[in-house]
């Protein structure tokens, strides 16, 4: 049962209607959104564009640059996925009721409770900022990276600018996990430099990849072909890499396609059937060849330990072979294997972190909520506090699903406005109140961001690229003050 923490006012319908039509029209409502990725922007757009109410949205981002994983998570050779930025950009530049405040960290420069006090509504959409762990020995050793760190490094995330993977001595790479991010990492490691040189990949990452000696990339998953999480599109892109050899257990693939227990499932899941058929086709077609570069998928293997040399350098990954059970799950066989690895990438998912005072489900990795309304341990809705995106549902889904999710959260806010106007018992001053408490030497506005972006475009033109991304925050701030 959902209860609402709201201030009591008369339940007389006439009084409610009077309150709604007079107060809401005379007072501008203030909404704070924490985060600036797709979930944040879609929520802001829906709130401002789809209501009769006068709502002003202030968006807070800890980095000087907006757009979250569209900027820092999408592979540089997937520019079409970034087209959504045109929509966000046009909205931010043309909407007078929207403000962007970058270089502001909630929980450090200002507290969540401060936002709740200053704004009628607070929407948390800051995504997932940590990595899931394998909990195996030596997993934090040199040349063992999370996919979040590796992707952030080649996409110019300031947090990972100094990651500096040395690929000049790396020939064997093991990637743990079978999602699209795993294939993104594999594709960039195996693609010829010419496929990346005109993209927005960072200069430092391109130089490292250009001098890479990587010859084999293995994708490892603890389950079988039926459970792979990457898509046919990502697989086709691997097949487009010239002279790439493919290796896997073809017998296991064939059994998965022909197994009578799978036939009913595959008949109802055409995309998965096509994926298995493509796996079978691509790996059969590319088993032979003279190329030194190999893409390999190892099914039914669970990581157990990172093996180090005596000098502490990476030697191999110890895995346990699994077997499929009748219930579709897997069990270890107590048979182990060491896979030679010069570098390991852990692509086993992200997790969100909670701000102080925010209810959080540690096991599932998201904020408990009811259609975006944050609820406490007693399933009681906390008035005025909402979540959107991965913080709302966990780190899954693509940009399209994020849009629907954000619209649901915005819809919940607008519905609460209509059904519970008593929540708006007083006017809020929004950023006016926040600005008096902020301890930030330089707030970055959207106009400032456009200066940074112009610099990136200009530098990109000089070298024949889309843009030359900046990864250093101090440099970004200097450009804001310089131009």
Whole-prediction pTM: 0.89
* Rounded Cα–Cα distance for residues 186 and 191 (Å): 8
- 19 closest CA partner among 9, 31, 29: 9
* Rounded Cα–Cα distance for residues 466 and 457 (Å): 7
The verdict on residue 472 lying in a domain is no
Domain stop point among 310, 327, 346: 346
The verdict on residue 369 lying in a domain is yes
Same domain, 193 and 315: yes
The verdict on residue 29 lying in a domain is yes
Same domain, 342 and 359: no
**Nearest-10 Cα torsion for 170, 176, 177, 178:** 50
The verdict on residue 461 lying in a domain is no
The verdict on residue 158 lying in a domain is yes
pLDDT score for 351: 84
Same domain, 161 and 39: no
Domain stop point among 346, 361, 396: 346
Same domain, 89 and 140: no
Same domain, 284 and 388: no
- 30 closest CA partner among 358, 438, 427: 427
CATH number of the domain residue 91 falls in? 3.40.50.720
Residue 311: domain span: 132-346
* Rounded Cα–Cα distance for residues 182 and 219 (Å): 7
- Annotated binding residues for NADP(+), as ranges? 222-223, 234, 397
The verdict on residue 478 lying in a domain is no
Same domain, 137 and 124: no
Same domain, 231 and 88: no
Quote the number of domains for the chain. 2
Contact between residue 134 and residue 344 where contact means Cβ atoms under 8 Å apart:
no
Same domain, 114 and 177: no
The verdict on residue 460 lying in a domain is no
The torsion angles phi and psi of 298, rounded to 5 degrees, stand at: -110, 110
Angle, in degrees to the nearest 10, between helices 446-462 and 84-94: 140
* Rounded Cα–Cα distance for residues 232 and 230 (Å): 7
3-state secondary structure the chain: CCEECCCCCCCCHHHHHHHHHHHHHHCCEEEEEECCCHHHHHHHHHHHHCCCCCEEEEEEECCCCCCHHHHHCCCCCCHHHHHHHHHHHHHHHHCCCEEEEECCCECCCECHHHHHHHCCEEEECCCCCEECCCCCECCCCCCEEEHHHHHHHHCCCHHHCCCCCCHHHCCEEEEECCCHHHHHHHHHHHCCHHHCCCCCCCHHHHHHHHCCCCCEEEEECCCCHHHCCCCHHHHHHHHCCCCCEEECCHHHHHHHHHCHHHHHHHHHCHHHHHHHHHHHHHHHHCCCCCCCCEEEEECCEEEEEEEECCCCCEEEEEEEEEEECCCCCEEEEEEEEEEECCEEEECCCEECCCCCCCCCECCCCECCEECCEEECCCCEEEEEEEECCHHHHCCCCCHHHHHHHHHHHHHHHHHHHHHCHHHCCCCCCCHHHHHCCCCCCCCECHHHHHHHHHHHHHHHHHCCCCCCCCCCHHHHHHHHHHC
CATH number of the domain residue 322 falls in? 3.50.50.60
Domain stop point among 322, 346, 370: 346
- Annotated binding residues for FAD, as ranges? 39, 61, 69, 106, 390, 397-399
- Annotated binding residues, as ranges? 39, 61, 69, 106, 222-223, 234, 390, 397-399
Q: How far apart are the first and last CA of the chain?
A: 55
CA Rg value for the chain: 25
Same domain, 214 and 280: yes
Q: What is the mean pLDDT of each run of 10 residues along the chain (483 residues)?
A: 35 32 59 96 94 92 96 94 95 97 95 95 91 94 96 96 93 96 97 94 95 96 93 93 91 88 87 92 78 92 97 96 86 97 95 88 88 93 94 81 92 89 69 91 95 97 95 96 78
Could you give the C-alpha distances from 464 to 70, 199, 467, in angstroms and in order?
Answer: 22, 9, 8
Same domain, 230 and 159: yes
Same domain, 394 and 267: no
The verdict on residue 462 lying in a domain is no
Cβ neighbours around 348 below 10 Å, total = 19
Same domain, 97 and 136: no
CA atoms within 13 A on the CB side of 71: 22
């Amino acid at each position: 049962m959902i209860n609402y923490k709201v201030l009591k006012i008369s339940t007389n319908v006439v009084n409610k209607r009077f309150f709604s039509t007079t107060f809401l029209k005379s007072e501008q409502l203030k909404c704070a959104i924490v985060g600036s990725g797709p979930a944040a922007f879609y929520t802001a757009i829906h709130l401002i564009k789809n209501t009769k109410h006068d709502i002003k949205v202030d968006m807070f981002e800890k980095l000087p640059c907006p757009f979250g994983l569209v900027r820092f998570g999408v592979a540089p050779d997937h520019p079409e996925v970034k087209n959504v930025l045109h929509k966000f950009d046009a909205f931010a530049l043309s909407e007078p009721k929207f403000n962007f405040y970058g270089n502001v960290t909630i929980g450090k420069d200002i507290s969540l409770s401060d936002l709740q006090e200053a704004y009628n509504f607070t929407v948390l959409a800051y995504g997932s900022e940590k990595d899931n762990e394998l909990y195996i020995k030596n997993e934090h050793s040199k040349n063992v990276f999370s996919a979040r760190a590796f992707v952030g490094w080649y996409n110019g995330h300031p947090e990972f600018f100094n990651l500096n993977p040395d690929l000049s001595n790396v020939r064997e790479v093991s990637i743990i996990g079978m999602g699209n991010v795993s294939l993104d990492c594999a594709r960039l490691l195996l693609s010829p430099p010419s496929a990346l040189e005109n993209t927005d990949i960072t200069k430092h990452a391109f130089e490292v990849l250009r001098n890479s000696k990587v010859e084999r990339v293995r994708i490892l998953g603890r389950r079988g072909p039926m459970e792979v999480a990457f898509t046919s599109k990502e697989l086709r892109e691997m097949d487009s890499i010239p002279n790439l050899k493919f290796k896997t257990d073809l017998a296991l693939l064939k059994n998965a396609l022909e197994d009578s227990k799978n036939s009913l499932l595959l008949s109802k899941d055409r995309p998965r059937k096509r994926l298995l058929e493509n796996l079978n086709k691509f790996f059969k077609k590319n088993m032979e060849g003279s190329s030194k570069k190999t893409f390999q998928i190892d099914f039914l293997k669970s990581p157990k330990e990172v093996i180090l040399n005596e000098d502490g350098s990476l030697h191999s990954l110890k895995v346990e072979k699994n077997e499929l059970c009748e219930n579709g799950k897997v069990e270890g066989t107590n048979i182990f294997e060491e896979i030679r690895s010069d570098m390991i990438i852990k692509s086993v998912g992200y997790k969100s972190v909670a701000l102080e005072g925010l209810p959080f489900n540690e096991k599932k990795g998201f904020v408990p909520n009811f259609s975006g309304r944050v609820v406490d341990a007693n399933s009681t809705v906390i008035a005025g506090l909402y979540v959107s995106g991965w913080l709302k549902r966990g780190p899954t889904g693509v940009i399209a699903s994020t849009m629907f999710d954000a619209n649901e959260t915005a819809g919940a806010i607008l519905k609460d406005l209509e059904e519970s106007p008593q929540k708006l018992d007083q006017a809020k001053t929004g950023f006016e109140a926040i600005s008096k408490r902020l301890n930030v030497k330089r707030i970055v506005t959207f106009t400032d961001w456009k200066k940074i972006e112009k610099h990136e475009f200009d530098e990109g033109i000089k070298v024949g690229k889309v843009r030359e991304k900046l990864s250093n925050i101090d440099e970004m701030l200097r450009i804001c003050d310089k131009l």
